[in-house]
Amino acid sequence: MARHDPLTGIANRLLWRERIEQTITAAGTDTLAALLYIDLDGFKGVNDAFGHYAGDVVLQQVASRLLECVADADAVARIGGDEFVVIQEQVVDRYAVEGLARCLVEQLSRPFELNKAPVRLGGCIGIALFPNDGRNADELLQAADMALYQAKAEGPGIYRFFSADQGDRTKQRLERKRALHHALAAGQLELHYQPIYDLRSGQLRSFEALLRWRHPTDGLVSPADFIPLAEETGLIVPIGNWVLSEACRQLARWPSGISVGVNLSPLQFRGRELVDAVRRAVDHAGVDVSRLELEITESVLLRNDRENLELLRDLRGLGARVAMDDFGTGYSSLSYLRSFPFDKIKLDRSFVSDLATSTEARAILHAVRSLGAAFRVRTTAEGIETPEQLAVVREEGYDEGQGYLLGRPQHPDDAFALAHSMGSAGPTGLFHELGCGVPTSPEAYPRLANTCASGNPNTRD
């Protein structure tokens, strides 16, 4: 009983460790041994949808199927909730291991039966070989875990062997995950602010708050590298709450006519905490909630769209404004304009960057502006980096512009100075400062051209 899993009847972690040590001791110089680390796909969904009893039934069926692929019952073990391992002894070459891996994947891909209803799951497998990838149980399990991580990144039903190069990258990713857990408490996260201008008057209208991680040894880490990690670990929720609080704290320092935009992750829409987080942030900072603009992408509405639409309406009920970011890149952007009264749509930067080479991009630019006018929604063009692009988006009648030509993301102190200097620049603001309507060369932007040239591509928006 001490060495077997009471639910499935197969070996548990204790017996697995004993067995792998025996395998290592008995391995010859001309043979390999393999450790196959298995993780189920979609198991949490079964528990959520059918309850934990149904989850237990699935785990029992999984154990039975894995046993069908091996001759020795003690070679299969359950070492975690939905994590299993299989030991393969006396392996001649990798092809034999692949044969076992294919059998395991095939067994897990068959539908499971719950209350006479078929449920499909599947599984991914990471494979480590002895002695190549490790010389004890811990080293082999760590190598198999890294291989499993790679397999899961590629999709369901995938098996992957451990490789040193990939293992180094995976290890770095896992270490960065652990470091991210401490980043918020250690004060390593910071917000930079990118200005957004009214394209008719040239006045500064708002800033977009952009999250940055200043790693103690790696320096500024690109958001593309750590935001997915924050979402995988669930850290995006406390980090997102901090972003809201910090952005509102900064907002309180700016002139009253300037607002701030904060990006929201789809994971922040789980439960009701987001509404409370927004309320706390504005109340603590003492700012008018109407100056807070919440930016979402279509992915927020792709899942649980009815619940998330209700949550968006509650946020609007507080007085916050809601913008759809990266507009034009999703499949359902148009339908969502009908289902929710957005305050703003932000045209994805890819359409602006393609203006010089694509007539289709100009057509989309025009169409999105027409939609904004029809729905009485403000339109913002992102990614403006050349005077020619600025000329086109102004000609098309866009309300606002954002991009490196107009200003890169900047430190809070620089944003504070800009907010107050532009606030006193008079009614024509930026374009009055430039001395012309639509300049045709970067030299006409003496201050902004230098700013654009010094930008970091990892912080571009």
- pLDDT at position 302 over 80: no
CA–CA dist 225, 218 (Å, integer): 12
Q: Which residue matches tokens 């309320």?
A: 279
- pLDDT at position 128 over 50: yes
Q: Identify the bridge partners of residue 400 per DSSP, sorted by sequence position.
A: 198, 380
Which of the two residues, 123 and 71, has the higher pLDDT score? 123
Which of the two residues, 433 and 225, has the higher pLDDT score? 225
The tens digit of pLDDT for each residue in 90-108 reads 888 888 899 999 999 999 9
pTM of the model: 0.66
pLDDT at 423: 53
Question: Which contacts (CB < 8 Å, 24+ apart) does range 361-368 have?
Answer: 362/392, 364/328, 365/392, 365/393, 365/396, 366/396, 368/327, 368/328
Task: Give the start-to-end residue ranges of the domains of the chain.
Answer: 13-162, 176-459
pLDDT at 448: 42
Band (460; pLDDT cuts 50, 70, 90): very low
Band (401; pLDDT cuts 50, 70, 90): very high
Task: Give me the chain's average pLDDT, please.
Answer: 85
The tens digit of pLDDT for each residue in 385-396 reads 999 999 999 999
Strand, helix or coil at 237? helix
Mean pLDDT value of segment 246-266:
96
CATH number for the domain formed by residue range(s) 13-162? 3.30.70.270
Band (46; pLDDT cuts 50, 70, 90): confident
Beta strands in 297-449, from DSSP E residues, in sequence order: 321-327, 344-347, 378-381, 400-401
CATH number for the domain formed by residue range(s) 176-459? 3.20.20.450
Which of the two residues, 169 and 439, has the higher pLDDT score? 169
pLDDT at 432: 52
The tens digit of pLDDT for each residue in 406-457 reads 999 999 999 999 999 875 443 344 555 544 454 433 333 333 433 333 333 3
Taking Cα atoms as reference points, which of 42, 408, 385, 394 lies closest to residue 201? 394
The tens digit of pLDDT for each residue in 335-363 reads 778 888 899 999 999 899 988 888 888 99
What is the helix (H) or strand (E) element at residue 204, kind and residue range?
strand 204-215
Number of C-beta neighbours around residue 240 at 10 A: 22
CA–CA dist 382, 386 (Å, integer): 12
- pLDDT at position 217 over 80: yes
Find out whether 127 and 161 touch, Cβ atoms under 8 Å. Answer: yes
The tens digit of pLDDT for each residue in 309-342 reads 899 999 999 999 999 998 877 655 677 788 888 9
The Cα angle at residue 165 between residues 163 and 170, in degrees rounded to 5: 85
